Amino acid sequence: QVQLVESGGGLVQAGGSLRLSCAASGLTFSAYIMTWFRQGPGKEREFVAGINWTGNETPYVDSVKGRFSISRDNAKNEVYLQMNSLKPEDTALYYCAASPRLGIDYSDALSYDYWGQGTQVTVSS
């Protein structure tokens, strides 16, 4: 049974930092593309950042470029999202997702087979 469990969310002031983690089990983690999505209040789910098997492909949504960094540790079966210079508009429920396929559109939620339950990030102004 595949499980993705996110952690690391919380309440932070604008300008602060958080590091999200997603622990995967029940799959061959190193064979999966891993991605972070988010859904803010009253908004649609949005692609944030993705990472391929080797970590040499890491697309980001424009709004987080230069502030967020995605990484993975295949030995620990974990993917991370380092979030710096947080803004109130980053407030959202953050999900990790996993896809075993090649050549996917990272931003398309239909590309992913597995999803976590999410971790809440709230940024106060």
- Name beta bridge partners: 36: 49, 96
Cβ-count burial of 19 within 10 angstroms (0-12 exposed, 13-18 middle, 19+ buried)?
A: middle
- Nearest Cα to 8, choosing from 118, 115, 123, 97? 118
CA gap 113, 115 in Å, rounded:
7
Eight-class DSSP state of 55 = S
Both structure tokens of 114: 């597995």
Task: Give the 3-state secondary structure of residue 34.
Answer: strand
Separation of first and last alpha carbons in the chain: 40
Q: What is the pLDDT of residue 102?
A: 85
pLDDT the model gives residue 43 = 95
pLDDT along the chain (125 residues), means of 10: 98 98 97 98 96 96 98 98 98 98 93 98 97
